[in-house]
Amino acid sequence: MPMRETSKPSAEVRLRVEELTGFHGGLVRAVVGCGLGGPELTEFFNGKVRATCVGCGLVVNGEELGKLTLVPGAAGEPDPQSDRLRLGYCGRPNCQSRFYQVVVDSVPKVEAATVVPRALELWRNPPPEPESPDVPKAPVPWWKQRRNQYALGALAVVLIFWWKLGPTEGPLAIRKEPTKYQAAPDPYRGGSGEALQ
Ligand SMILES: [Zn+2]
């Protein structure tokens, strides 16, 4: 008996026009969570997701819904249909309807009846982001890392001993021999002091 994967039902949800982009974002996350990616994802939104105006029947597919999240005009060409949808109107001029019926078909990895409620949930209550590897916490500066603090402490001790006991000349010297003051004339003791004035 052949498998009947394609007979899995579609799922539908009715949304206001301005809710379409939010739902689309939730749906992307939901189907990615089902393991869809790359070309499969594009194919899914192209062919298995469509929004139909309840007033005039204008159909907007999932890929076009994705474009609504772009900055107007970013794609280059003027797109009056997307501009109207972004403003909360039907994409067809003069249509007064504000609602679209979104239909999502199942594919082998994605069961529509599960993924549509999940998409609504992800849209309305997006999960917090900290688990995302894209947003790392501020890194601890190297001098605050405990391992490096031990090393710095040890280095300080070595430097102190070196300063006290180390060589006073040669390439490793870090201090000079105490300066010997011997040639400075002393004006308070007469003699050469007179000559300086
Ligand atoms: Zn319409």
Tens digit of each residue's pLDDT (9 = 90 or more) over 2-56:
445 445 699 999 999 999 999 999 999 999 999 999 999 999 999 999 999 999 9
Average pLDDT over the chain reads: 84
Both 120 and 146 in one domain: the answer is: no
Beta-carbon neighbour count of residue 69 at 10 Å?
14
Residue 189 counted as domain residue: no
Ligand 1 centroid – CA 187 distance (Å): 105
Residue 92 lies in a domain: yes
Residue 147, domain member (yes or no): yes
Are 158 and 85 within one domain? no
Answer whether residue 183 shows pLDDT above 70: no
SS3 69: coil
Residues 171 and 78 both lie in one domain: no
Q: How far is the CA of 45 from the centre of ligand 1 (A)?
A: 21
Lowest mean pLDDT among 16-20, 40-44, 82-86, 178-182: 178-182
For the beta carbon of residue 91, count every other beta carbon within 10 angstroms. Answer: 23
**19 CA distance to ligand 1 centroid (A)?**
15
Is residue 1 included in any domain, yes or no?
A: no
In a domain, 48, yes or no: yes
Which domain range does residue 28 map to?
7-124
Neighbours of 182 (CB within 10 A): 5
Return the beta strands (E) in the chain as ranges: 11-16, 49-53, 59-61, 99-104
Does residue 74 carry a pLDDT above 80? no
**How far is ligand 1, taken at its centre, from the CA of residue 82, in Å?**
13
> Do residue 15 and residue 101 come from a single domain?
yes
- In this structure, the answer to whether residues 26 and 52 fall within a common structural domain is yes
Q: Is residue 50 in a domain?
A: yes
Distance 51 CA to ligand 1 centre (A): 11
Which of these three, 93, 124, 155, is where a domain ends?
Answer: 124
For the chain, give the percent of residues with pLDDT over 90: 52
- Give the Cα-Cα-Cα angle 193, 195, 197 (nearest 5 degrees): 85
73 in a domain, yes or no?
A: yes
Q: What is the pLDDT of residue 175?
A: 64
92: CA distance to ligand 1 center in Å? Answer: 5
Give the chain's length. 197
- For residues 79 and 45, membership in a common domain is answered with yes
- Measure 70 CA to ligand 1 centroid, in angstroms: 21
Residue 70 shares a structural domain with residue 149? no
Clarify whether residues 120 and 158 are in a common domain.
no
Q: Which of 86, 78, 77, 72 is nearest to 16 (CA)?
A: 86
The arithmetic mean of pLDDT across residues 152-167, rounded, is: 84
pLDDT at res. 193: 46
Q: How many domains does the chain have?
A: 2
Q: Which residue has the higher pLDDT, 3 or 124?
A: 124
Is the same domain home to 81 and 18? Answer: yes
Cα-to-centroid distance, 23 and ligand 1 (Å): 18
Domain annotation covers residue 131:
no
Cβ proximity of 81 and 91 under 8 Å: yes
Q: Higher model confidence: residue 39 or residue 131?
A: 39
Residue predicted with more confidence, 30 or 71: 30
Phi, psi of 60 (to 5 degrees): -120, 120
| pLDDT band with cut points at 50, 70 and 90 for residue 178 | low
97 C-alpha to ligand 1 centroid (Å): 5
For 19-33, 52-66, 156-170, which range has the lowest pLDDT when averaged over its residues?
156-170
Contacts of 190 (CB under 8 A, 6+ apart): none
> Are residues 19 and 97 located together in one domain of the fold?
yes
CA 25–ligand 1 middle distance (angstroms):
22
Look at the pTM and tell me if it is higher than 0.75: no
- Give me the sheet containing 99-104, strands edge to edge: 11-16, 99-104, 49-53, 59-61
Average pLDDT over residues 125-129: 82
Distance 58 CA to ligand 1 centre (A): 6
User: Of 60, 94, 124, at which residue does a domain stop?
Assistant: 124
Q: Within 10 A of 79 (CB to CB), how many other CB atoms are there?
A: 19
